């Protein structure tokens, strides 16, 4: 099960190693993954969960360049069924937001609606961490992920997103 986590958060080639990217502060990783079919690279930032305060199925969060705008994703270790629609609750600074997530193939990534990205670009930037709860009929988990430096990490991501 660890391999699903490594596939999401590990760069593909030494030339794209995490150490070469400028947004390493506060644990954020900028990842470029080559497109095997040609075309633009997949570009994302990620932050791993606090393993001392998180269930083992919660790997962390990722924001990736989408076709129109960045997309906010919860990363799990155990994949969800393709047609699952987990409910995600995110807490920060004493407030909570609920989202219906869409499972992305092969199942370990949960795409949140654009409202989550709006919060990442705004209110969540003043928080130090996000408390994440994921619930579905087949599995549930919760955890915490530090998000200090989110504003700078997002700025770095957006500056490297391929032109649409």
| CA 9, chain centre distance (Å) | 9
Prediction pTM value: 0.83
Across the range 63-72, mean pLDDT stands at: 94
For residue 98, the model assigns a pLDDT of: 98
Across the range 148-153, mean pLDDT stands at: 95
Across the range 102-115, mean pLDDT stands at: 96
What is the Cα–Cα distance from 67 to 87, expressed in whole angstroms?
24
Q: What is the DSSP string of 44-71?
A: EEEEE--TTSS-TTEEEEEEE--SSS-E
For residue 24, the model assigns a pLDDT of: 61
Please name which of 9, 19, 10, 28 lies closest in space to residue 155, comparing C-alpha atoms.
28
For residue 27, the model assigns a pLDDT of: 87
User: Residue 28: is its pLDDT beyond 70?
Assistant: yes
For each of the domains in the chain, give its residue range(s) and CATH number, in order of start: 2-160 (2.60.40)
Q: Which residues make Cβ contacts (< 8 Å) with residue 88, sequence separation at least 6?
A: 74, 98, 99, 100, 101, 110, 112, 132, 133, 134
User: Residue 149: is its pLDDT beyond 90?
Assistant: yes
User: Residue 162: is its pLDDT beyond 60?
Assistant: yes
């Amino acid at each position: 099960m660890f391999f699903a986590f490594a596939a999401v958060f590990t760069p593909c080639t030494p030339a794209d190693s995490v150490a070469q990217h400028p947004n390493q502060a506060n644990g954020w990783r900028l990842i470029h993954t080559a497109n095997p079919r040609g075309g633009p690279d997949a570009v994302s930032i990620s932050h791993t969960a606090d393993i001392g305060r998180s269930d083992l199925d919660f790997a962390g969060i990722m924001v990736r360049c989408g076709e129109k705008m960045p997309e906010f994703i919860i990363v799990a270790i155990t994949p969800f069924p393709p047609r699952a629609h987990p409910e995600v609750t995110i807490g920060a600074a004493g407030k909570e937001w609920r989202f219906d997530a869409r499972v992305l193939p092969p199942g370990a990534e949960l795409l949140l609606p654009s409202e989550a990205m709006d919060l990442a670009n705004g209110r969540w930037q003043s928080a130090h961490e996000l408390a994440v709860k994921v619930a579905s009929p087949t599995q549930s988990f919760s955890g915490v992920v530090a998000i200090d430096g989110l504003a700078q990490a997002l700025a770095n991501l957006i500056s490297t997103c391929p032109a649409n």
